[in-house]
Homo-oligomer: A and B are copies of this chain.
């Protein structure tokens, strides 16, 4: 059993990292926090607020050791929670000595594919940093950082092949308002987290184009089935895609006004170019990158994925969104 008194590191300075630090503070945990920008570190140390993300959240600077020295943060931690957009993770940590991660518990709070490797996060840490499966866990689920810090009741899934890691995550992040279920389906949950961002882009495009509620629900149910088809093809195991961490994640991302991916799709549907829509979004729309990576990953599996193909064609092949969605609509049921 892992001791949860262990030293905890958080890597990343965005909304989700900020929310996680807030929850850890709720449990009176000290946090080694890697943040890239010195001005953000200074602001947090001085004011207890992250000026860039969730700036309303009050943090206790006395319980935070913030640093832009990644080696130091990791060396001083036994459990390291990574919260960096997948698109930037490798650039951020590629020079890290893999020995630093030896015998650490690596937790990914990342949703996405590492584009340089076309790999989900578990595979990336495993192949590039030799992190064994039993040292690795994922925290996933249809959660908004915004809601977590507003103390809205939220449900997360902690996935690991190591039951101890699930138990640790429940103790570290579970609260009266954060319910955590455990799962051993790391690969399925990671791919689901990637795919749902693509489906949220599709949802946004359909809404932007003026499709209605009925179409959106049909798109969403077809997305659930498409995801199940892919997961069964890459890793057939007993999983119920109607559990929250698969299906719930698709629903909340496709329907929520907080979803960056849906907003991104919405701009495209409304007629803005893909490039303009990318620039317009302050935060990264993971689904944009994911549609490319997953299309490439799927080349070896050849699973029928019409929704993903439509997003990819619109984002990367300069295909007209209205024509592509109409073509897609003919394949849905």
Residues of A within 8 A of B (CB): 141-144, 147, 150, 152-155, 179, 181, 210-218, 220-222, 224-225, 228, 240-244, 247-249, 251-252, 255-256, 258, 329, 332-333
Does the CB pair A213–B332 fall under 8 Å?
no
A143→B155 CA distance, assembly (Å)? 30
Contacts A251-B251, A333-B179 given; does A242 touch B224 at CB 8 Å: yes
Number of copies: 2
A-B contact pairs, 24 of them (CB 8 A): A144-B212, A147-B212, A147-B213, A147-B214, A152-B212, A152-B214, A152-B215, A153-B211, A153-B212, A153-B214, A154-B214, A155-B333, A179-B332, A213-B255, A213-B256, A217-B249, A218-B244, A220-B251, A221-B248, A222-B244, A224-B247, A225-B240, A225-B242, A242-B242
7 A-B pairs closest in CB distance = A152-B212, A217-B252, A221-B248, A147-B212, A217-B248, A154-B214, A142-B217
Sample of 5 more A-B contacts, CB < 8 Å, known A155-B215, A155-B333:
A144-B212, A153-B212, A179-B333, A224-B247, A225-B240
User: Which B-chain residue is minimally distant from A326 (CB atoms)?
Assistant: B153
- Given the complex, which residues of B lie within 8 Å of A252, measured CB to CB? 213-214, 216-217
Rounded to whole Å, the gap between the CB of A248 and the closest CB of chain B is: 4
Rounded to whole Å, the gap between the CB of A163 and the closest CB of chain B is: 17
Rounded to whole Å, the gap between the CB of A27 and the closest CB of chain B is: 20
Contacts A214-B152, A242-B241 given; does A248 touch B220 at CB 8 Å: yes
Rounded to whole Å, the gap between the CB of A232 and the closest CB of chain B is: 13
- Given the complex, which residues of B lie within 8 Å of A179, measured CB to CB? 329, 332-333
- Given the complex, which residues of B lie within 8 Å of A255, measured CB to CB? 213, 217, 251, 255
A293→B143 CA distance, assembly (Å)? 34
Does the CB pair B144–A214 fall under 8 Å?
yes
Q: Which of B144, B212, B220, B222 lies in contact with A154, CB distance below 8 A?
A: B212
Does the CB pair A243–B214 fall under 8 Å?
no
Rounded to whole Å, the gap between the CB of A174 and the closest CB of chain B is: 13
- Given the complex, which residues of B lie within 8 Å of A215, measured CB to CB? 152-155
Does the CB pair A332–B155 fall under 8 Å?
yes
- Given the complex, which residues of B lie within 8 Å of A152, measured CB to CB? 210-212, 214-215
A147→B210 CA distance, assembly (Å)? 11
